Structure 1
Amino acid sequence: MNKPWLLASLTIFAGTTSLLFGAQSASAESVTFTLVNSTSRVLEEFYASPPSTDDWEEDILGVDVLAPGESTQITIDDGREDCHYDFKGVLGPGEGVGRGALVQSSVNVCDGGTYEYTE
C-alpha cells in the first residue's frame, strides 16, 4: 500500500467520523426553560425525567430552593433527544397544609418557554 493513498484514506475517515459524531451531538442538545414558583409555598425540590423512565433522578435545584414569586433558569443536558419530560415539584409546608408534591406529565421543554407552578 502506498503512503499517499493511506493518508488520503485516513483523512476521509477522520472527516466522516467527525461528521457522524457532530450530527449525533447536535441532535441531543440541551434545553433551557424558565421555572416559576407562583405558589404561596417554597418549592423545595424539582425533578424532570423522561416519561419512559420510572426514576425521578436527581433534584435539579440541589441545595437551593425557589421562594414564592421567584423564577430560575433550568437546563436539561442529559443527552436525550426527547422533548417531553415529566415534572415533579415538592412544595414545603404552608399555613394549614403539609409538604406536598405537584406532578405534571409530558411537558414539552424544547420550546424554551416558561413552566409555572400554581396552587
Structure 2
Amino acid sequence: MKNYFACAVVTALSIAFALSSADAANRKVNIRNKTSQTMTEFYASNTGSQDWEEDILGSQELEPGEKIEIDIDDGSGKCKFDFQGVFADGEKVIKRNINVCQIETFSFTE
C-alpha cells in the first residue's frame, strides 16, 4: 500500500511539474529574414487575439539574411502566435499558429 501511495504522489508531482514547465516555456524565437526585401515591421499576437500588437522591431529593420532574437511572451501563457512581417516593398506576410514554445527559429521566405 505504501508503494502504491508513493507511486501516486510521484505521478502527481510529475504531472504538476510538466504543467508548470509548459507555462514557463521559453518563448524566445530567432526571426530570420530569408527574403530579398528588408523587413521594416514585425508583429506577433497570440492566436486568440483579434488585433496585432505593436511593431516589435520598432525603429530597427531586418535586412535580407539577418536574424533577430525576440521574446514573444505576451504574459498570456499561450504558446501559439500569429506572425506578420511587413517588407520595404509594402508586402505583408502573415503566418498563423506558430508554436513559439517548440521552435527556436522562424524564417520568412519568398
TM range (shorter): 0.7 to 0.9
Shift of 1:77: 2.9
Could you tell me which residue of structure 2 aligns to residue 86 of structure 1?
Answer: 82
The one of 79, 85, 98 aligned to 1:107:
98
Letter in 1 for 2:81: Y
Q: CA deviation at 1:30?
A: 5.4
* Aligned-pair Cα RMSD in Å: 1.8
Match in the other structure for 2:54: 58
* C-alpha distance after superposition, 1:3-51 (max 9, x if no partner): xxxxxxxxxxxxxxxxxxxxx8x93565101110000000000000011
Pairs within 5 Å for 1:1-119: 27=23, 31-93=27-89, 99-119=90-110
* Structure 1 moving runs of 4+ over 4 Å: none
Q: Distance in 2 between matches of 1:38 and 1:118?
A: 5
Distance 1:101 1:50 in 2: 18
How far, CA to CA, are the matches of 2:72 and 2:29 in structure 1? 9
Identity across aligned pairs (percent)?
42
Match of 1:20 in 2: none
Aligned length: 91
Which consecutive unaligned segments of at least 5 residues does structure 2 have?
Answer: 1-19
Q: Which runs of 5+ in 1 are unaligned?
A: 1-23, 94-98
